[in-house]
Amino acid sequence: MAELMKFELVSPERLLMSEDVEQVTVPGSEGEFTVLARHAPVLSTMRPGLLAVVQDGGTEEKIFVRGGFAEVNPDGLTVLAEEAVHMSDLDAAALAQHVKNAEEDVADATDDDKRARAQETLDHLKQLQDALKA
């Protein structure tokens, strides 16, 4: 049996998840990383992508996060997400609206930096759309 760690997922509105889990894969801005119990302390920004949460017993739950921060400390992992949606709750129409909004953000960007960030978000949303279709 794997050692468990405390995992909390927080959005601006509320605490979405607080439980002991085996591991969590985080979409860090510098690349994905997996956190297990007793992981070294880390603070990372996150890019839009999927959190893969492995529950006690091996069941995996996928949650789409749109930006935020992940903090690993001796107590476990806390993810502060700008937006978080369980893949099981995601529907194609809502995702299509997110893509449309992101396309508008790219078109409305006032400088190269904002345009690049908006394009990155759009690219990740399209990847999520592909994952939902698969």
Tell me: the pLDDT tens digits for 29-65?
A: 999 999 999 999 999 999 888 899 999 989 999 998 8
Nearest to 9 by CA among 84, 108, 109: 84
pTM here?
Answer: 0.75
pLDDT of residue 1: 65
The answer to whether residues 121 and 98 touch, using CB atoms and an 8 Å cutoff, is no
pLDDT of residue 27: 93
pLDDT of residue 7: 98
The answer to whether residues 50 and 24 touch, using CB atoms and an 8 Å cutoff, is no
The per-residue pLDDT for range 89-111, each reduced to its tens digit, is 777 888 889 899 999 999 999 99
- The confidence band for 124, taking pLDDT boundaries of 50, 70 and 90, is confident
Helix axes 112-133, 92-108, angle to 10 degrees: 160
DSSP β-bridge partners for residue 78: 8, 71
Q: What is the mean pLDDT of residues 13-26?
A: 95
| Torsion angle, alpha carbons of 25, 78, 28, 63, to 10 | 50
Residue 23 above 80 pLDDT?
yes
pLDDT of residue 134: 58
Cβ neighbors of 125 (< 8 A, separation 6 or more) are 48, 95, 98, 99, 102
Distance, in Å, from the CA atom of 129 to the CA atom of 134, rounded to the nearest integer, reads: 9
